[in-house]
Amino acid sequence: MQAGDKVPDITLPDQHGNPFSFTELIGKTSVVVFFYPKNFTPGCTREACDFRDHYSRFKELGAEVIGISSDSEKSHSKFISKFDLPYTFLSDGKAKARKAFGVKSNLFGLLPGRETFIFDENGRLLHKFNNMNEGKHVQEALEVLRKK
């Protein structure tokens, strides 16, 4: 995906098993979508909690946050409950979203990639950020939203 591209028209199950479509948010809110490797791992937990700790700032900037991994809906539900995560998580067990967004694997293909995408309220890509350092994603996304 490149700046200006439209958010992919795909549907994935959320943490409750309900279908979620990105296109439902078009015209309503900006969206920060972060892909991460796995629930309950140290780096992924830090990243998810960092988004949690800054969630009110994202809301103030008119953005919704969505986390995506290959974990099951049940795993997402436990992850949310354990760490009090206030935003939506989507299950991408068949890598449908990873393919649609063009998220590449890291560490010689051994780990699913860690990449963040920021879309405006019209569903157009403003910025994407690929870095295995989980600590940089929240600040980068907030910076992009502040400038828009």
Catalytic residue ranges: 44
Torsion, Cα 43 49 52 57, to 10 degrees, reads -70
Amino acid at 36: Y
Q: In what order do the strands lie in the sheet with 125-130?
A: 88-91, 63-69, 30-35, 115-119, 125-130
> Quick count: other Cβ atoms within 10 Å of Cβ 86?
12
Give the position of tokens 């539900």: 77
